[in-house]
């Protein structure tokens, strides 16, 4: 899949307690020779409560790390503040560009 192409992939991640959580992959892009994925929690209507309405803007940044021996890719949550800020800034810029392109397409 190309950088910037809209994604509708769902991934299931395990938390520290072993509980499964579904996330939608909303973007994948390269920055400083590393790959990053932006994920948002999938909210199922039958599992939502009042607290979920407050966390609609929740997004997570993961670095995609490839393991040469196995060929598998692993998602590693970005916890370093400087790296997180740099990736978040890039993603916000990409989101603004995408929104501008959508508005331009709608006005044609």
* CA 31-33-37 angle, 5° bins: 50
Query: Comparing 73 with 100, which gets the higher pLDDT?
Result: 73
pLDDT score of 7: 47
Give the tens place of pLDDT for each residue, 88-98.
Answer: 999 999 988 87
Measured distance CA(96)–CA(81) in Å, rounded: 22
This prediction's pTM: 0.74
Beta-carbon contacts of residue 35 (< 8 Å; ≥ 6 apart)? 28, 29, 63, 64
Give the tens place of pLDDT for each residue, 37-68.
Answer: 999 999 887 766 665 555 556 899 999 999 98
């Amino acid at each position: 899949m190309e950088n910037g192409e809209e994604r509708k992939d769902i991934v299931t991640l395990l938390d520290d307690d072993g509980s499964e959580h579904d996330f939608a992959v909303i973007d994948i892009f390269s920055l400083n020779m590393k790959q990053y994925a932006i994920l948002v929690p999938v909210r199922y209507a039958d599992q939502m409560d009042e607290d979920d309405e407050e966390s609609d803007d929740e997004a997570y940044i993961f670095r995609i790390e490839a393991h040469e021996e196995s060929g598998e890719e692993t998602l590693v949550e970005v916890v370093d503040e400087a790296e997180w800020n740099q990736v978040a800034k890039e993603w916000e810029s990409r989101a603004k560009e995408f929104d501008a392109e959508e508005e331009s397409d709608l006005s044609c």
